[in-house]
Structure formats: C-alpha cells, structure tokens
Structure 1
Amino acid sequence: MLRVAVVGTGNISAAHVNAYLAFPERCRITAVVDMYPEKAKAKAKQFGLDVEVLDSHKLLLGRSDIDLVSVCTPPFTHACICVDLLNDRKHVLVEKPMAASLEECDRMNEAAARSGTVFSVVAQNRFREPIMNLKHVLDSGLIGRVLHAQIDSYWWRGHCYYDLWWRGLWSKEVGGCTLNHAVHHIDMLGWMMGLPRRAVALLSNAAHDNAEVEDISVAALQYDRGSVAQVTSSVIHHGEEQQLIFQGERARISAPWNVYASTSKDNGFPQRNPALEEELHAFYERLPRLKHTGHEGQIDNVLTAIETGTAPLITGVDGRMTIELITAIYQAGFQQKAVELPIAKDDPMYTAEGILASAPRFYEKTNAVVQLGSGQDISVGSDYGQKNKP
C-alpha cells in the first residue's frame, strides 16, 4: 500500500485525489498540504479524507510514512518542491508545466537520477484513447512520413481568470497560454514528432488587460527533411475546440479521429484512396482499449512504475522536452526571429532569470485575489472524441 501526499489543494488537485481514490487497494492519501491550511481542510472534507493537514511540503521531509507526492502548486514552485522531495527519496508526480526553465528541469532530473525514485510529469492527455491510438497509428508508418502537423490548442478564459494572485505574472505563472494551456498539446506534438530544428512565433495579449502574459501565440516549427508543424495556443477561442492533425505522405489522420487518404492521378491531381482509409480505420479499431484514462490513467501508470521498478510512460526527460519546445516558441516570439534548437545551457533563455529579463509585459496586473469565485468545475481539455454539435 503506497502512502500518498498531495501538495497544493487548488482546482487541479481534485483530479489527483479522484484518481488516487480509484485505486484503494494500491494507495491511500494520508496528507494534504497547502500554504493556506483552511483550503487543505476544505479539500479533505470535500472528499471525505481522513488525513493530516500540513502547511508546507518541508514537513513531509525525513518521513518514512510518505511514499509518493503529487505536486499541484503554481508553476514557479515546482522545481524547489520537487528537488526537496526527490532528494528525500520520495516518488514524485508533478503537475504541468514541469518548471519555469530548462535549468530547473535539469535540476529536477538530476535529483531524480540521484534518488533512483520514480519521477513523472503530468501529461494526462497521453492517456486518452484518441491520443494514444493516434500515436500508435503514426508509429505504424501507415501514413508515411509526417509532412505537416496542425496543433490547435483552443481554450477560453474570462477576464477575471487572471485575477487569481499568481496568474498572469511572468514571475509566478512563468508564462501565458503557451506554457499553461498548450503545454498539453505541445507535449503531444513532442511525443509524436520529437524536437524540431527551428521555431518562429508571434505572441500577443488580445483580451486580458489584467495580465502581463500572452493570451494567444502562433508558432511554426521546422523539422528535418522540411516537415513543418504549426501550433496555435489560445485562451480567447470560444468553444475550446482542440485538435491534432497530421498530414502524412499517404494520408491525413487526426484527433478527433478522422482519416483522408489520397493517391495521385497521372496529371498529379488527387484521387481518394478508400483502401488505405479502410486499412487505417481497421488498424485503429484493433488497438486495445485503455482501462484507465486521463489523470487516473497516468496515476495508474505511476503506481505501476513504483510497484514494478520500471520507468513511467512520462518521465522528467519527456517533461523537459516539452519545456524546451515552449521556451523556443517564447524566445522566437520575444526576439521576433527564428530560434535554433536545442537550446544551449549558455543561452540566456536557459534560466528563469533570463526568461524574465526578456519577457514582454503586455499589461500590468491590476488585481490579485487569493481565491476566485465559487464555481468548482474546471475544464481540463477535450476528450478528443467526436466534436459536439450545436
């Protein structure tokens, strides 16, 4: 029985608590931690948890009765908390984004390597069937080499979203929609296509004049052999429609799942290839169903890694690649020029201090509240099934 602590009891912590509660024979939550203990007590009461309530992660250090810690705090705190816990030989699952900079990612991964414990970064959408299946289809080679990817990370957030005390500040949220919302989709792109060679980008704040950070960015990424990906990150898109489209040499596939395959006529114009489409559909339908999905799927994977001494699907190295992609988009947008990857350790953008020194402040943050309104439901992205019809 693994004993679990949850550090940070804001909105996203509920996804972790629910996921742990799905495995009562394998783990038990024994502590919740928040700098505001009343929030931690309310969270424990909400889920009927009989747990210890603490006001600092440091109170978990040196204790042998805590095996695994979920870190659900604001992004600027991730590195220091995770390094402390990993050095204490705790297993750690940290919410996205992994950290504020590549330098912090490297410190976290070095601590994980020293400790020999399991370290995983939340990317729960990999544990959704349409995304997992899309990865399997790409890896099958049935569509040929990917020539173009279109990543639409469309979200919508109201003006008051950035009134929360740590949001909308480069020093606290360490980025806008590119880092904190599109991180899911950029993780998926990196998982499926790897690291590009070059990035160009535009950043803007079109609708949130109470935040320093961007609320929309548009990036183009170039890979080897001329392949290109375009990534739109947004919190200004009504409907929050999200999709990943991959145009291969032989066919187009996407999440939500859709297929179109073409062959060439003698004159170079396209004709549909129903045989390949049927083959792709059949391959997709034969893929095994996931027993657990979303956060529950990732926590099942982390628990299994701890129980079996194996690596989780999403490691700190994977989390670092996502941060490197995002850092390249930011650098390209800040400097308004193409950026080459990988980003070197002597690059100013390697550190959080360098990012803060370069980042544009679109607006001055004008409000700071400890907690937003009473609505408890939050959106954590599309399930990538069939799109809703009005």
Structure 2
Amino acid sequence: MSQRSYRSAIVGTGGIATAHAQAVAGSGGRARLVAAVDVDLGRAETFAATWQVPRTFTTLTELLREERVDLVHLCTPPLLHAPLALECLEAGVTVLVEKPPTLSLAELDALAEAESRSTAHMATVFQHRFGPGAARLRRMLAGGELGRPLVATCLTQWYRGDAYFEVPWRGTWASEGGGPTMGHGIHQFDLLFSVLGPWREVSGLAVRQARDTETEDVSMAMVTFESGAVASVVNSVLSPRETSVLRFDFERATVELEHLYGYTDADWSVTPAPGCEDVTKRWSAEGRSADSSGHHGQLAAVLDALDRDEAPPVTLADARVTMEFVAALYASAFTGERITRGQVGPGSPFARRMDGTGAPWEGTDG
C-alpha cells in the first residue's frame, strides 16, 4: 500500500484548529497544511505563521478555486458545518468535520445524499474512538473474552460558566444545535456506541438549571441496546469537579475509563469477575501504550483509508447513529415519550431541529 502526502487545509482557525494542526504536523509527512481559511484574515495569518502554512483565504470558495487540496479540516462553529461540508463534497474534496457534524438529522441526511453523488467523502471527528484502550476493548468484546455486555454508565460532567456562553453562537438551537448533549457529552456517548453497538430505545430528560441559554445545561438518558445491554448517560456543564467517565459491566469484568478531555492507557482499569482473572492478563498483554485519544489517532486512520481509496472513519452512517440518539433524547425529553431508533423520521420536527416542538422553558425568563 503506497502512502501519499495529502494536501490539507484548515477552515476556521479558532481553538480546535490547533489540535488539527498538531495532528497534521505529527503525521510524518503523510499530510501537510497548504492553506488556512478564516473570515478574520488577521487570525488566519497568525495561525498560518504559527504553523508555517503558505496561503490564507477568507472563504472556502476562494480556497477551492485557487488551491488544490485533498482534505479539508472543518473547524468552524457548528452552524457552518453543513453548508461548508456540502461545498467540499460538490467540489470533490474530502472533508473532516468537527463535532457535531450538523445541527440536525435532516442536514446530515442531505449531506449523505450529496456524498452519494460525489467522488469525495465526509468524516466526523470523534477522536475518542481511536485511542488504544478503546480499540483493545472492542477487540476483546468481539473476541468473546469479556462475555456479554450488561450495564454501562456514561458521564460527561463538565463546568462552563456564564462567560463561556458570551460567545454569540453558543447556547442557541439555531447556531449550536443543542447544549451539552450536542457540544460536550457527544464524544463520550459516541465512544459508548462504538463499543456497545446500535441503541434501540431511549428515555430522556433535558433541563435548564442554571445557565441563561436557549438550550439545556443538563441532560440524562436511559438507553437500551440491540444486544440487550442497558446504560445511563449524563451530560452536564454545571459540575465543578469535572470528569468524563465510562463504565462497562460485562459478564466477565468491569472495564472503566476516567479522564477529562482525552485519555491514555493509564486512564483505564479492569476488574475481573471472580474466576475470570485471565481478563486482566489479556488486557495487559499488549503492554501500556503512551498514545492518547487525540486527533492524531483519527487523522492517521483517515489517511490510511484515503491510501486505500476507502471512505474514511467516522462515516456519515456511523455518525448518524450518534446524531439520531441526540435527536431521540431531545424528542423524549420534550414529549415525555420513549423513543425507539428510527422513530425520528423525515417528517418529525426533531429531525429538522433538535428542539423539535420547542423546549418546555421556551419564552420563560428563568
């Protein structure tokens, strides 16, 4: 398999763009940044100077017209993800989009249709799937070494004060698509789904407790999976002791991960069931990796797929499982119904907007 050097561009040079630039710089020459795009040209030029990027533009349209690129890293606010990703697909350029990939299921499905007509692909940044611990866990589960999955918990308990929401696009349905369910916890429950597989039903709660936002600041869900496993999911931006926790209880062991914004092997632990001590030995057999769950792992997987002329991970079909869960959680929270997978169809208001029929606190002051 031959390895190319992919001409890459970053669109949107705010905070998360640094993680993408670091991943490209650490790719060993497999990718190189040839352009940076930002509506604020001065910010683009500062970013370009930091990362030795030769060209800057103020629009994606200019970039695609004037520069040949193989891969666009889309790091803009969520409102712009769908239209800019569509522009890339229509130009035949593969695009790697930060989470959430779109503001709605309808937008995601429109991009899937556009991808079917394009020679290019769209992938979503869910980098926690690519850490070594998650890969090991999926291998051991698939190999039957852990037994059946039974119970799981998924906690994203972070803290974001009022100043965080002073950024105009944060905390609104129209520009961010949701609260901590869309913008914070999505990484953890996406990793949950990558391990446990398709979910079947969700019963959700979303409330606005303390932040002056349009969206929720806390959400919870009880989830059942096609495998029969059950899980609880909590997403919060009100938690002073911040943590990100995943716990999987299998027949033969409990596997736990506790970290904050990214993990290494040191953040995982395994507790075998009585008589199943071989699970711990198997987990440790590969040795402890120093690699983290940062963007570099997913970028490497994306480049591997492009080398093979395959759709890079995480595909739109993969991302849809996670995004449909978000829509179902909001639908359940705002209607009081349990929502099954597939129930939020094209005609549903929750497919068009994550707040669907409207948040219950809409129009109130508190």
Relative to the length of structure 2, the TM-score reads 0.89
SS of corresponding position for 2:203: strand
The one-letter amino acid paired with 1:78 is H
Q: What's 1:325 paired with?
A: 325
Match of 1:257 in 2: 268
Distance 1:2 1:365, change over 3 A: farther
Matched, 1:104 2:115: no
Contact 1:92–1:120 (CA<8 Å) still a contact in 2? yes
Name the structure 1 match of 2:196.
193
Show the 5 A alignment for 1:120-139.
120-139=123-142
Amino acid at match of 2:232: Q
Label 1:232 to 1:362 Cα distance change in 2 as closer, same or farther (>3 A).
Answer: farther
1:307 deviates by 2.1
Q: Which residue of 2 aligns with 1:235?
A: 237
Deviations 1:130-176 (A, max 9, x none): 22222223222222221211001121112110000100111101100
Secondary structure at the counterpart of residue 240 of structure 2? coil
The answer on 1:303 being equivalent to 2:303 is yes
CA contact (8 A) 1:146 1:248 kept: yes
The equivalent of 2:348 in structure 1 is 347
CA spacing shift, 1:26–1:87, aligned 2, 3 Å: same
Alpha-carbon deviation of 1:64? 5.8
Q: Hey, what does 2:359 align to over in structure 1?
A: 359
Q: Are the counterparts in 2 of residues 213 and 361 from structure 1 also a CA contact under 8 Å? A: no
How much has 1:114 moved relative to structure 2?
2.0
Aligned 8 A contact 1:186 1:325 in 2? no
Whether the 8 Å CA contact 1:212–1:360 is kept in 2: the answer is no
Q: 5+ residue gaps in structure 1?
A: 263-272, 367-390
Contact 2:349–2:356 (8 Å) recurs in 1 = no
CA distance in 2, matches of 1:58, 1:359: 36
Partner of 1:218: 220
Secondary structure in structure 2 of the residue aligned to 1:3: strand
TM-score normalised by length of structure 1: 0.84
Specify the SS of the correspondent of 2:242: coil
SS of the residue corresponding to residue 155 of structure 1 reads strand
| SS in structure 1 of the partner of residue 181 of structure 2 | helix
Higher mean C-alpha deviation, range 229-238 or range 245-254: 245-254
Kindly indicate whether the alpha-carbon contact (under 8 Å) linking 1:109 and 1:316 is maintained by their aligned counterparts in 2. Answer: yes
Given the superposition, is the C-alpha separation of residues 98 and 193 from structure 1 closer, same or farther in structure 2, using an over 3 Å criterion?
A: same
Counterparts of 1:286 and 1:261 in 2: how far apart (Å)?
Answer: 15
Distance (Å, rounded) in 2 between the aligned partners of 1:236 and 1:355: 20
Following superposition, the deviation at residue 241 of structure 1 comes to 1.5
> Given that residues 157 and 242 in structure 2 are in contact (C-alpha distance below 8 angstroms), is that contact kept between their aligned partners in structure 1?
yes
2:26 match: 22
Q: List runs of 5+ in structure 2 lacking aligned partners.
A: 258-266
Indicate the SS of the match to 1:110: helix
Counterpart Cα distance in 2 of 1:279 and 1:201? 37
Q: 1:85 to 1:298 in 2, by over 3 A?
A: same
Moved over 4 A (4+): 288-293, 360-366
2:90 maps to 1:87: yes
Equivalents in 1 of 2:352, 2:74: separation in Å? 21
Give the length in aligned residue pairs.
Answer: 351
3-state SS, counterpart of residue 155 of structure 2? strand
1:75 to partner: Cα distance: 1.1
CA 1:357–1:7 in 2, change beyond 3 Å: closer, same or farther?
farther
Q: Specify the alignment match of 1:376 in structure 2.
A: none
Task: Single out whichever of 200-209 and 220-229 deviates more from structure 2.
Answer: 220-229
Q: Which amino acid aligns with 2:152?
A: A
**Which residue number in structure 2 is paired with residue 36 of structure 1?**
40
- Is the contact made by 2:198 and 2:226 (CA closer than 8 Å) also made in structure 1? no
The 3-state SS of whatever aligns with 2:239 is coil
Which aligned pairs between 1:149-298 and structure 2 lie closer than 5 A?
149-209=152-212, 211-224=213-226, 226-255=228-257, 256-262=267-273, 273=274, 275-276=275-276, 278-287=277-286, 289=289, 293-298=293-298
Q: Deviations over 1:59-94 (max 9, x none)?
A: 233456111100011112111110110111001100
Residues 36 and 53 in structure 2, CA contact (< 8 A), matched pair in contact too: no
Q: Conserved in 2, the CA contact under 8 Å of 1:98 and 1:320? A: no
Taking the aligned partners of 2:124 and 2:54, their CA distance within structure 1 comes to 24
> What one-letter code is carried by the residue in structure 2 that aligns with 1:239?
R
- Which residue pairs with 1:65 in the alignment? 68
Stretch of structure 1 that moved more, 341-350 or 118-127: 341-350
CA distance 1:189–1:10, shift in 2 (3 Å): same
**Which shows bigger deviation, 218-227 or 241-250?**
218-227
1:371 counterpart residue number: none
Aligned-partner residue type, residue 205 of structure 1: R
